Amino acid sequence: MSAAAWGEALAAVGGTAGSSTTVVSICVFTAVLCLCLVAGHLLEENKWVNESITALIIGCLIGAIIFLLTKGKQSHILRFDEQLFFIYVLPPIIFNAGFQVKKKQFFHNFMTIMSFGVFGVFISVAIVSAGCYWLFPKVGFGELDASDYLALGAIFSSTDTVCTLQVINQDETPRLYSLVFGEGVVNDATAVVLFNAIKNLNISQLKGGVVLKVISDFLYLFATSTILGISIGLSTAYILKALYLGRHSTDREVALMALMAYLSYMLAELLDLSGILTVFFCGIVMSHYAWHNVTANSRITTKHIFATLSFIAETFIFLYVGMDALDIDKWKTSKASFKTSISIFGIIILFVLLGRAAFVFPISILSNNMSGSSERTPITFKHQVVIWWAGLMRGAVSIALAYNQFTFSGVTSDPVHATIITSTIIVVFFTTLVFGFLTRPLITAMLPRHSRALSRGHSTGSNSPKDDFTMPFFSTDEDASGSGIVLEQAKRSISMLLERPVHTVHIYWRKFDDKFMRPIFGGPQSH
């Protein structure tokens, strides 16, 4: 096919979604995804660049090539489609996050993660919204209403931690990793749920009670979504254990796990719950129970199948965002001058930085004081900086939410709305490229141990998992034979229960899990 013919074929893409159109775009996307994979592999050991940056830049380049081939008529293969994003691309990423999460660390830091992921987002939304409401009119860009400002807050409070997680070493700083990772997942869910709550808000009847309503709605959604995800995960585990599908076919096991996971997400969406939370908890339950009920081959397959899907989906998103960036129509529709655009961008970045600082440092200090026990590694100031930095990147969720609020099926004719869309794209680009670029050097500076190539297998004593298994009431230590010692230990246990409620709850959960859950739903019988 000649370049001209390609150009023609590509020019047809923007129009109707005909058969040949779809084929061309799928071809280009698949080929470019392969390119990204290979590029990502070759750049793996590079100190500055990561996979997201590669995909974003390649996407941009492809967009530019298409733009030149079609002589300026066209610059993107597909319009950014939030439905595609929320229905097909996001679920595998979140499910895999739940499936691969180190559950022990996650639940140990549950309260801190929730504080970051829930309260943090509320604080950030408030600050970004207020900041934009205050400063946007001052740069001559004031035609938004109150709900738009709130939506802006939610859009720019959803973080993208993929980039940072590639750098932090899970073995060396397990707590930090768990906090950044956990916050990333909860943050996604909170931002989306809050965004929807704001969309449904009747802004004209804004009263004091409304904040309470949003919070209670949020808690209701959180609880029901979690319960749905856990139920579906447990059902899958039970079916796999009771019927032992692997007896006849390994493929049925793998298919059932994948389909049930997807069903949990779609069912949550159908019932107007948060699919992200549901599929995340479904992933946790499946890896804890269902995964142990399948054949060895299915275990290897599911582990890699979900990771691969998630990996492709992530690369796809950055590629998509990169290709979408050069969409000329949007830039033409936005009538904002260069100066206004730069001001808007500056305001958003400023309040993103402030909004995040406003909750990371206070919550970290609070968490350090609350845990009150010397056994737990405190969140040092350097770790706080890393957590703050890790959440500065904005990604696909921001873009998807912006499209949802400010366009109709990906198109807008309102110059103000087009400006918001282009600003969102610039913010996503800037944070992913510039902040992403600086992440590795910053983390090397903050966590110097990361720069030294520590030999693997050298585990840091203070975080060895053994610590977590000391049962307060049911100790079987040999030196606990005397009754005085028993009494002493009981006293210590009670004080531990008061001091570290989460930790103690966790211990009782393990007993309950071993005694009642695992015999029914499967899993290794002993630790």
Q: Under the rule (CB under 8 A), what is the footprint of its own copies?
A: 1, 19-20, 22-24, 26-27, 30-31, 33-34, 37-38, 40-42, 44, 83, 87, 239, 243, 245, 248-252, 254-256, 258-260, 262-263, 266-267, 269-271, 297-298, 300-301, 304-305, 307-308, 311-312
Residue with Cβ nearer its own copies (297 or 460): 297
Residue with Cβ nearer its own copies (17 or 466): 17
* In the complex, minimum distance from the CB of residue 517 to its own copies, in angstroms, rounded to a whole number: 22
Residue with Cβ nearer its own copies (57 or 267): 267
Q: In sequence order, what are the beta bridge partners of 411?
A: 408
- Residue 411 backbone phi and psi in degrees, to 5: -125, 140
Residue with Cβ nearer its own copies (83 or 462): 83
Residue with Cβ nearer its own copies (316 or 359): 316
Residue with Cβ nearer its own copies (83 or 216): 83
* In the complex, minimum distance from the CB of residue 245 to its own copies, in angstroms, rounded to a whole number: 5
Residue with Cβ nearer its own copies (16 or 369): 16
Is there a contact between 318 and 101 (Cβ–Cβ < 8 Å)? no
Residue with Cβ nearer its own copies (115 or 310): 310
Is there a contact between 349 and 434 (Cβ–Cβ < 8 Å)? no
Residue with Cβ nearer its own copies (83 or 373): 83
Angle at 451 between CA 447 and CA 454, to 5 degrees: 105
Rounded Cα distance, 252 and 236, in Å: 12
Give the 3-state secondary structure of 120-177: HHHHHHHHHHHHHHHHCHHHCCCCCCHHHHHHHHHHCCCCCCHHHHCCCCCCCCHHHH
Smallest CA-to-CA distance from 10 within 85, 71, 82 is with 71
Q: H-type helices in 168-249, by residue range?
A: 174-200, 209-243
SS3 416: helix
* Residue 215 C-alpha from the chain's centroid: 21
**Percent composition of the chain: helix, strand, coil (DSSP 3-state, to 5):** 75, 0, 25
Q: What is the DSSP letter of 477?
A: -
SS3 376: coil
Tokens 């035609």, located at residue: 143
Is there a contact between 183 and 121 (Cβ–Cβ < 8 Å)? no
Q: Which two tokens stand for residue 159?
A: 């973080």
Q: In sequence order, what are the beta bridge partners of 408?
A: 411
CB within 8 A of 176, min separation 6: which ones?
Answer: 168, 379, 383, 386, 387, 447
Residue with Cβ nearer its own copies (246 or 391): 246
Residue with Cβ nearer its own copies (1 or 457): 1
Rounded Cα distance, 374 and 362, in Å: 20
484 residue type, one letter: G
* Residue 480 C-alpha from the chain's centroid: 45
Smallest CA-to-CA distance from 147 within 169, 129, 159, 165 is with 129
Rounded Cα distance, 240 and 231, in Å: 14
SS3 27: helix
Q: What is the DSSP letter of 435?
A: I
Is there a contact between 360 and 381 (Cβ–Cβ < 8 Å)? no
* In the complex, minimum distance from the CB of residue 34 to its own copies, in angstroms, rounded to a whole number: 5
Residue with Cβ nearer its own copies (32 or 325): 32
